[in-house]
Structure 1
Amino acid sequence: MGIRREGRELALDYIYQLDLGVEDLASVLPLLERERRGSKRVRDFAKSLVEGVWTHREEIDALLRRHLLHWKLERLTRTDRGLLRLAAYEMVFDPEVPSKVAINEAVEIGKKYGGDESGKFLNGVLDAIHRASL
């Protein structure tokens, strides 16, 4: 598994924790730095993703709400919501990541950790965001 994929998966774990509301960003980032999974490069990449997603969460959530047809963001599983936030963050705030890469990564991770329909669902929402940005 590549550094970026591993970093995204690790970031998803911490975004999930933040979404539970038990921890805040200030307490999660030191935990991530002490994480034993992955190399330092993986952890650094994951940390930048978690920080970026959580810092821009309101903007990202507003964007997602505009493209979630017949769904409420709050009703999604935390895994799907986290992956949507992660991919949307990369699509909007990280110009080095092509949208198609962000979408594909979210879909593949969703197939691994989400429900049976997660991959299709994530692809549909993220593709709509991508098409709207063209």
Structure 2
Amino acid sequence: MKASSRRLARELALQGVYSWQMSKNPVSQIELHLATTNNVEQVDMAFFQELLRSVIKDYERLDASIKPYLGRLPEELDPVEKAILRLATYELLERLDVPFKVVINEAIELAKSYGAEESHKFVNGVLDKAVRTLRKHEQS
């Protein structure tokens, strides 16, 4: 799949994780809503579904993995930043086929598009610290 289809999958997954954080609706309902109200022709749907389902299923483990690098509690995070960090943490831990630099860059781009004005700097700082532990095998 093209990188753009993965980027679109991450954007859709971000919307889904954010929606779940705010509503606690069942993941199947959120997934169906997103798939039927968006143009998903160019989206890597398998990747979107994996991200959405896995992040929601494992959010406590993902929060625990990223918590040491936040400088504050996960519950104090802006909901968009929290969703972005959960997605990126999942990819760092579980999608070793995706280089960590791609994970960080994609998270920064999501933060620039959907987060507050300085969100991308915060996301970059957190992930830059986290990757040293979560992906130390890739460090040069």
Does the TM-score normalized on the shorter chain lie above 0.5?
yes
For 1:119, give the aligned amino acid. Answer: H
Output the amino acid matched with 2:19.
Answer: Q
- 2:100 equivalent to 1:99: yes
Unaligned runs of 5+ in 2: none
Give the structure 2 partner of residue 47 of structure 1.
49
Query: What is the aligned partner in structure 2 of residue 72 from structure 1?
Result: 73
Cα drift, residue 67 of structure 1: 1.4
CA displacement at 1:41 relative to structure 2? 4.3
Alignment partner, residue 26 of structure 1: 28
Shift of 1:35: 4.0
Greater shift, 35-44 or 59-68, is seen at: 35-44
Name the CA distance, whole Å, in 2 between partners of 1:41 and 1:113: 18
How many residues are paired up? 133
Instruction: State the secondary structure of the residue aligned to 2:116.
Output: coil
Aligned pairs for 1:3-22 (under 5 A) are: 3-22=5-24
Matched residues, percent identical?
35
Contact 1:107 1:122 (C-alpha < 8 Å) held by counterparts: yes
In the alignment, the residues of structure 2 paired with residue 37 and residue 65 of structure 1 have an alpha-carbon distance, to the nearest angstrom, of: 35
Q: What RMSD over aligned residues (CA atoms) do the two structures have, in Å? A: 1.7
The amino acid of 2:28's aligned partner reads A
Of 39-48 and 119-128, more deviation after overlay is shown by 39-48
TM-score scaled by structure 1? 0.89
In structure 2, how many angstroms separate the alpha carbons of the residues matched to 1:111 and 1:119? 5
User: C-alpha distance in 1, partners of 2:131/2:32?
Assistant: 33
Shift of 1:63: 1.0
TM-score by length of 2: 0.86
CA distance in 1, matches of 2:102, 2:20: 24
Q: 1:91 Cα deviation (Å)?
A: 0.5
What CA distance in whole angstroms lies between the structure 1 residues aligned with 2:4 and 2:69?
30
1:129 aligned residue:
130
Say which SS state the counterpart of residue 44 (structure 2) adopts. helix
User: What is the Cα deviation at residue 130 of structure 1?
Assistant: 0.4
